[in-house]
């Protein structure tokens, strides 16, 4: 029973969070999502539920499942094969949600020496860690604000370069580590390091349902699921299938996306209006808007796409008075979105 995942489509409400997750799957270059919210609001459930909706991808059969279409970012094993002109075996590999537990030690995250191999053969061999497993997948950190600083540093390095460099215990190794970073946190428990906050392409604030009807639905579905997970999943199979197909179609459509000038201008306008630093926000706005358009079956990005995702991209980037809550800005954002 513990291995059965609650169906994504059975989660009541929380549409912003669900959208943010789906858009990242459609376009991984958005840069992940940070989900903030009070305790017990299905944050972790939603992220783990995403696993059932993830598409397959073509990748090499090496331990890192390299994306060989990017020849400059493959592991040493694949590179050797490519250089020697050998044919690489490709496989359809389903994307996964790889979890990084808070108690993880540095060696297990970065990867380390394979002890068994070393004792038996006297040779050093690299043993992949979480960052290797995460390549091409979703890397999920629950309670990301409580993650130890030295692990955060490892994450930041890999997230920035898409590659993990290891120098430890006499092992020197490097491999691709490109992942969609998803973090969940309860702000009551403490703040997130600003560098890490910056890494997230999107941020969503979730709250519990406040009306009796939906709250009842939450309880009912949970009870049904606990009672008989298989048949509960069965009853959502059609919806799950439909959503998954829609995601796959949108992913394929991404290649044909055309960014209209109109939408582009609007993204820049939005960043300027809200005083967001740097160009990363503009670019992320466009990437997210593209994914949004693709999800809604279009190949051209329109103003509505930008407006729909602006909230997700801008809230955590707004420059604000250090002694002020961000709520006023959020209101302003909503006003601005409505004004178009």
Q: How far apart are CA 105 and CA 107, in angstroms?
A: 6
Q: Is residue 119 near other proteins by the rule CB under 8 A?
A: yes
Task: Tokens 């519990």: give the residue.
Answer: 208
- Asked if 263 contacts 306 with a C-beta cutoff of 8 angstroms, the reply is yes
DSSP letter for each residue of 204-218:
EEE----SHHHHHHH
160 binds other proteins (CB under 8 A): no
**Can residue 120 be called a binding residue for other proteins (CB under 8 A)?**
yes
Q: What would the DSSP string read from start to end of 103-120?
A: T--HHHHH-EE-HHHHHH
Give the residue, chosen from 35, 113, 166, 333, that forms a contact with other proteins under the rule CB under 8 A: 113
Q: Does 327 bind other proteins (CB under 8 A)?
A: no
- Among 87, 322, 327, 338, the residue binding other proteins under the rule CB under 8 A is 322
Q: Does 116 bind other proteins (CB under 8 A)?
A: yes
Residue 59: enclosing H or E segment and its boundaries? strand 56-60
How far apart CA 337 and CA 340 sit, in angstroms, is 6
CB of 281 to other proteins, least distance (A): 25
Pairing status of strand 90-94 against strand 138-142: unpaired
Task: For residue 230, give every residue at least 6 positions away whose Cβ sits within 8 Å of its Cβ, in sequence order, or none.
Answer: 4
Q: Which of 48, 215, 280, 303 is catalytic?
A: 280
- Residue 182 and residue 188 in contact, taking contact as beta carbons nearer than 8 Å: no
187: which DSSP letter? G
Among candidate residues 72, 257, 282, the one with its CA nearest the CA of residue 174: 72
CA distance 217 to 275: 40
| Crossing angle between the packed helical segments 280-295 and 303-314, to the nearest 10 degrees | 130
Q: Decide if residue 106 touches other proteins (CB under 8 A).
A: yes
- Please select the residue that binds other proteins; options are 186, 240, 300, 326, rule is CB under 8 A: 186
Measured from the CB atom, is 164 or 308 closer to other proteins?
164
Under the binding rule (CB under 8 A), the answer on residue 52 touching other proteins is no
Least distance in angstroms from the C-beta of 223 to other proteins: 6
Least CB distance to other proteins at residue 201 (A)? 25
Asked if 31 is part of the footprint of other proteins (rule: CB under 8 A), the reply reads no
280 is known as an active-site residue: yes
Asked if 223 interacts with other proteins (CB under 8 A), we say yes
103 binds other proteins (CB under 8 A): yes
Smallest CA-to-CA distance from 244 within 22, 15, 16 is with 22
> Is residue 193 within 8 Å of 152, Cβ to Cβ?
yes
Of residues 228-247, those binding other proteins (CB under 8 A): none
Please, what is the minimum distance in Å from the beta carbon of residue 230 to other proteins?
Answer: 14
At closest approach, how far in Å is the CB of 187 from other proteins?
10
| Distance of closest approach, residue 6 Cβ to other proteins, in angstroms | 11
Which residues are catalytic, by number? 280
Residues that bind other proteins (CB under 8 A): 1-3, 38-42, 99-109, 112-113, 115-116, 118-124, 129-130, 142-143, 146, 148-150, 169-170, 186, 188-190, 208-213, 215-216, 218-220, 222-223, 226-227, 322-324
């Amino acid at each position: 029973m513990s291995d059965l995942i609650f169906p994504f489509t059975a989660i009541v409400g929380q549409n912003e969070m669900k959208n943010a997750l789906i858009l990242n799957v459609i376009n991984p270059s958005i840069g992940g999502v940070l989900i903030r919210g009070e305790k017990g609001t299905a944050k972790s459930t939603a992220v783990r539920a995403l696993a059932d909706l993830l598409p397959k991808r073509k990748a090499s059969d090496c331990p890192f499942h390299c994306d060989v279409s990017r020849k400059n970012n493959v592991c040493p094993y694949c590179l050797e094969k490519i250089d020697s002109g050998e044919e690489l075996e490709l496989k359809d590999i389903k994307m996964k949600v790889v979890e990084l537990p808070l108690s993880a030690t540095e060696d297990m995250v970065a990867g380390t020496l394979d002890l068994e191999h070393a004792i038996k053969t006297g040779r050093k061999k690299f043993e992949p860690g979480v960052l290797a497993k995460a390549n091409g997948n979703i890397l999920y950190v629950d309670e990301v604000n409580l993650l130890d600083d030295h692990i955060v540093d490892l994450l930041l390095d890999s997230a920035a370069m898409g590659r993990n460099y290891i120098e430890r215990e006499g092992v020197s190794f490097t491999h691709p580590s490109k992942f969609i970073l998803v973090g969940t946190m309860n702000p009551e428990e403490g703040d997130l390091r600003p560098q890490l906050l910056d890494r997230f392409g999107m941020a969503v604030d979730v709250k519990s349902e406040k009306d009796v009807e939906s709250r009842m639905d939450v309880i009912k579905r949970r009870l049904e699921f606990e009672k008989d997970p298989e048949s509960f999943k069965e009853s959502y199979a059609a919806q799950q299938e439909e959503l998954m197909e829609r995601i796959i179609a949108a992913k394929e459509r991404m290649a044909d996306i055309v960014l209209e000038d109109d939408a582009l201008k609007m993204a820049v306008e939005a960043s300027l209006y809200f005083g967001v630093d740097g160009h990363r926000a503009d670019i992320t706005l466009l990437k997210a808007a593209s994914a949004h358009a693709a999800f809604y079956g279009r190949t051209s990005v329109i103003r509505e796409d930008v407006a729909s995702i602006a909230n997700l991209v801008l809230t955590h980037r707004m420059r604000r008075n250090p002694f002020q809550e961000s709520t006023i800005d959020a209101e302003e954002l909503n006003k601005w979105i409505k004004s178009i």
